[in-house]
Every structure is written in C-alpha cells, then in structure tokens.
Structure 1
C-alpha cells in the first residue's frame, strides 16, 4: 500500500507528521500519548511544536484590535 501511495505522490512521513501536528493541537498530550501509543514526552513535544506558548498566544489575541481579528 505504501508503494501505491508513493506512486500517487503522497509522502507518508509528511502526511503522518501533519496528522500528528493537527491532533496535538486539538488533544491534551496525555490523551494523544495514550490513544496513539506514543511516549508522553513525545506527545508533549508535538503539542509544544503545534501550539507553542498558549499563554503568549492568548495575550496576543487579547491585544488585537477588532479590525485585525477579522
């Protein structure tokens, strides 16, 4: 199956990374680790990479003007 996907131009490693990035942005690290069977430290790293500093992000959003938010 991997060969068929490669022939179609689908990069498996890149697709997996994209999926992990998105999931880690939506789920807590503990849930991600438990459901995917990955180590919690790996899940935390993915979550940090996808979400960055959530406190800094929230502060930035609160400083935006209404025009910038649309």
Structure 2
C-alpha cells in the first residue's frame, strides 16, 4: 500500500505528522496519548509543538 501511495505522490511521513499535529490541537493529552500508545509527556510535547509554544 505504501508503494502505491508513493506512486500517487502522497508522502507518508509528512501525512502522518500532519495528522498527529491536527489531533494534538483537538484532543486532550490523555485522550491523545492512549490510542497512539505514547506517554502523556510526549503528547504534551506534540500539543505544544502544534500550538507553536
């Protein structure tokens, strides 16, 4: 699937990062951390980065 997306010009790493930043702006850290399997402190860093802090 990844190869097919690349052939269409979709960059997976950039798309993933964009999606994570969007989630970080919309969800509380505890809600963001749990489904992604990351620590709450990492979720806080994502939120700060997404907010431009």
Query: TM over 0.5, yes or no?
Result: yes
Please give the alpha-carbon distance, in whole angstroms, between the structure 2 residues aligned to 1:30 and 1:23: 12
Q: Indicate the structure whose relative CO is greater, using CA pairs within 8 Å and at least 6 residues apart.
A: 2
Residues 47-58 of structure 1 mapped to structure 2, 5 A cutoff = 47-53=47-53
Q: Name the residue aligned to 1:39.
A: 39
Please give the alpha-carbon distance, in whole angstroms, between the structure 2 residues aligned to 1:2 and 1:40: 29
Unmatched tracts of structure 1, length 5 or more: 54-70
Please give the alpha-carbon distance, in whole angstroms, between the structure 2 residues aligned to 1:52 and 1:30: 20
TM-score by length of 1: 0.69
Q: CA RMSD in A?
A: 1.1
Cα displacement (A) at 1:42: 1.5
Cα displacement (A) at 1:27: 0.4
Please give the alpha-carbon distance, in whole angstroms, between the structure 2 residues aligned to 1:44 and 1:35: 14
Cα displacement (A) at 1:37: 1.2
Which is higher, the Rg of structure 1 or of structure 2?
Answer: 1
Q: Name the residue aligned to 1:20.
A: 20
Please give the alpha-carbon distance, in whole angstroms, between the structure 2 residues aligned to 1:34 and 1:19: 16
